Structure 1
Amino acid sequence: MTFDAIGIAGTGLTVHRKWLDAISDNIANVNTAAATDGAAFQQRYVLVENGSDSPGVFVAGVELGDAEGRLVHQPDHPLADADGYVRYPDIDLGDQMSQLILAQRGYEASAAVVDRAKTTYEAALQIGRS
């Protein structure tokens, strides 16, 4: 019970790291082209749940976005079909950048909680030694 703050903040660190990983994948593949007879890169969404047996939050899984994507007319692209279309993921880069900022700030907040809890526990140990 004494170290609950560190444990709970640690679960937040893990969730935000996984969220950052998903966003990184989405941003890295925003311009990934595919042939029209194939699937577009599918956006990653991290699903999070409250802990049932222990406090904190946990990654429940990853949900994938639409494989249809969007068709773009690029007749000079090597993957273009007979009509000149290529399939791209339907990912909004502006939305991903906003999500990136939120995930980064959440990660930083959880890290700050771990740091402050550690400092508090160390101070309590020092009081006990006196």
Structure 2
Amino acid sequence: MAGPFGAIGIAGTGVTVYRKWLDAVSDNIANINNAAPTSGEAFRARYVLAQAVDYGSGNGGVQVGGIELGKAEGRLVYEPNHPLADEKGYVRYPDIDLGAQMGQLMMAQRAYQANISVVDRAYDAYQAALQLGRNG
């Protein structure tokens, strides 16, 4: 993929991967305080695994290679008055660090915006080339 179409295609793959990353981080943050009984699993954080396509060829871009899930054990918190508490007073919460998720959110958002910017610039270059062809 050479020229503006190649740039649009490759940046488009980045937009897709970073959108999925943003979705995973938002899901993790939204479920950070979800309690579960100790007999069940805690909410499992989602982590997007990015994978290069045709690495080194300059033609591939990136794709989602899979999703990794956090630990089902989560963390036990002593809350004897919680309706889901076990006989010892413990409730299971996801093992998600809000600070780490916010850092991931900022990185994914900036990368998403950078790829959108590449698509916009490539589109502008393509439009300028069309104008030159019409006027020449």
- Structures share fold, TM-score greater than 0.5: yes
Q: How far is the alpha carbon of 1:52 from its aligned partner? A: 2.8
* TM-score, normalisation: structure 1: 0.97
| Aligned mates of 1:16, 1:75 — CA distance in 2 | 40
Whole-Å separation in 2 of the counterparts to 1:52 and 1:32: 40
Which of 116, 119, 131 is the matching residue for 1:114? Answer: 119
Q: List structure 1 segments (4+ residues) > 3 angstroms apart after TM superposition.
A: none
TM-score w.r.t. the length of structure 2 is 0.93
State the superposition RMSD in angstroms.
Answer: 1.1
Partner in structure 2 of residue 80 of structure 1: 85
**Whole-Å Cα distance in 1 between the matches of residues 77 and 11 of structure 2?**
43
**Matches of residues 1-130 of structure 1 in structure 2 within 5 Å?**
1=1, 2=3, 3-52=5-54, 54-130=59-135
Give the Cα–Cα distance (whole angstroms) in 2 for the partners of residues 114 and 14 of structure 1: 12
**Count of equivalent residues:** 130
Structure 2 residues without counterparts, runs of 5 or longer: none
Kindly, what percent of the aligned residue pairs are identical? 66
Q: Secondary structure at the match of 1:42?
A: coil
Superposition deviation, residue 60 in structure 1: 1.0
Is there any run of 5+ residues in structure 1 with no aligned partner, and where? none
Q: Deviation digits for residues 14-34 of structure 1, max 9, x if unmatched?
A: 000000010011000100000
